[in-house]
Structure 1
Amino acid sequence: MTTRRSRYLPALPALAVLLVLSGLQPARAGVFDDDEARRQVRDLSAQTNERLDTLTKGQFDLVNQIQSLREENARLRGQVETLTFELESAKKRQQDFYIDLDGRLRKLETQPAAADGGEGKPADEAKPAEPVKKVVDPAAESRDYEAALNFFKANRIKEAAAAFESFGRNYPDSTLAPNAQYWLGNAYYTLRDCKKSIDAYRVVVAKWPQHAKASDSLIGVATCQHDIGDAKGAKATYESILAKYPGSSAAATAKQRIKK
């Protein structure tokens, strides 16, 4: 009996070790599973934070871009307002310049007429009788012309156009008729009615080809043609100015515009 018990005694420690090891395996596996889960949670948290950082940075960049666009838009709006003001001021100065120039030309045109009127001529040198013309009140003529010009100067363009048309009908033989017709073309151009503007300018060229306003009227015709997209017609008009009025200021303008 004792011999049999002693035979099994060496096996007991080994069995105990096996039992202990078998009990430790699940516990150790559980520890490893928790560590892996925590690692995955940390990795997921890090990825999430990284994505949040990326999204946040993208939002900040977008906000900065929007702000930059707003500032740029405000700057451009300011430039447009400034350019609009400068353009209106330039148009006003141009109108004043034309009106002043027109007044100076009228003074020069009326001086020879006044000088001739003061000199008497012998009866045998008198010119043949001419058809009786409508008696015109010079004061009314000058007053109507000035009224039309004042409409234009005040930027009351529709009233100016009507007044210049009326002047042309009432005073067809006036020395101011070419000027009035020219200003009628300017008025229609300001109203963006290029067809009527061209027609008005061409009347000046047809009826008073030697008048100072004839070459200026052709410049007006070419400008209208350019605005309506008739580049070929505008070039032909500029060439006509160079041919008919080579020494005029209009010719200098025509040369510059042909080069463009």
Structure 2
Amino acid sequence: MKSNKRQPLVLALLMSAATPVVAAPAPVTDVTGTSGSSLERIERLLEARNQVQLDMQRQLQQLSGEVDQLRGMVEQNSYQLKQVVDRQRDLYRELDQLSQQAPAAAAKTETPAGNYSSNLSENESYDHAVALVLEKKDFDGAIQAFNQFLKDYPKSSYSSNAHYWLGQIYFAKGQGQSAVAHFQSVVNDAQSSKRADSLLKLGLIYRSSDKGKAKQYLQQVVSQYPESATAKQAKEALAKLK
């Protein structure tokens, strides 16, 4: 009896097992749409990166050109500065040679002073005074020009040079005492490139009037500028004082 009651239940289970199971539909994704959007975004990023690289390359090229231009300007300025320094050295050397010919130089000062214009810039005024010495050999005109320069430009970077020129001119004319104040002005300027030469000149000027003071100046040259050519001249002058 019991087996008969279970048969319908078993049959029902077997039938339900035989029925095919229908799975829930899988979600559908628009693969084409999503992939296209990602590719476009990547392409835009790549384009932006390429544009940044191009901009950086252009900037580097521009900077490189500017650096080359600045380098050229520095080289040109260095060359021009060297020419100025060499010219200045030659001018001083020539005037030193003139100072060794004081009698002849004194005779040349009888020439009339050249016309001097006060309406000149600082550089023009200085160059004009130097030209009067070296080109025209007009010592009196140069004295006037340098004194006017010092009056017009008392704080000029050329002031020590102007005093040195005046000292040299008076020294070349055989007027040592008139040269003293100008050489002393140069000596008082610790930065002047002509300080050693001015000390030497003061020592040479005082040889005939005050040997003690002459020795003091000459020894300053030797002690403060021991490796210079000026020190060698000072040593020779000191040897003659003994």
For Structure 1 versus Structure 2, the TM-score category normalised by the shorter chain is: 0.3 to 0.5
Q: TM-score, normalised by structure 2?
A: 0.48
- Point out which structure has higher relative CO (alpha carbons under 8 A, 6+ apart): 2
